[in-house]
Amino acid sequence: MARWPLLLFALSLCVLSGLVSASIVGRPFHIHGRVYCDTCRCGFETKKTTYIPGARVRIECQDRETLQLKYSVEGVTDSTGTYKIKVEDDHQDQLCYATLVSSPVANCRTADRGRSRAEVILTRNNGAISDLHFANSLGYLRDEPLSGCAELLKQLLESNE
């Protein structure tokens, strides 16, 4: 007789956890990141880096086995070079990336191969509970380095000794 309350309690916990899980899974993700112009062509952000308003960024998800494109959505950076892209659905076992599409800056349109995309995890099956995910910054290379870049690089190298 004492088993029934315990059984009902366990059953109610299962139902409750299922409801909570369903409400989390259905929420969209919000991916935030920045796009910059590597004005010194260093391959990373420096104090001379500028951020690009109006740059286009795409979130793409591919099937892990076939690499077939399964999802794609684009966004544009604001005045601070920040993009905020809403991604619908859970992309479970897919490979998802934030990728550079285009830069409106005439002398900064060459994507830095090492900074042209950033992996983003778009599943809640890994314990993630936040809707907000941050991607690494994405970068373009300026056609010609700004003046003062050689001195900046020298300072950076000396500070690492």
User: What does the pLDDT look like over 100-147, one tens digit per residue?
Assistant: 999 999 999 999 999 999 999 888 876 667 899 999 999 999 999 999
The residue ranges of every structural domain in the chain are: 28-159
- Fold entry, domain 28-159: Immunoglobulin-like (2.60.40)
Q: Contact 32/132 with Cβ under 8 angstroms?
A: yes
Residue scoring higher pLDDT (53 or 15): 53
Q: What is the pTM of this model?
A: 0.80
Identity of the highest mean pLDDT range in 30-34, 123-127, 150-154: 30-34
Q: Contact 44/141 with Cβ under 8 angstroms?
A: no
The predicted-structure confidence for 34-70, as pLDDT tens digits, reads as follows 999 999 999 999 999 999 999 999 999 999 999 999 9
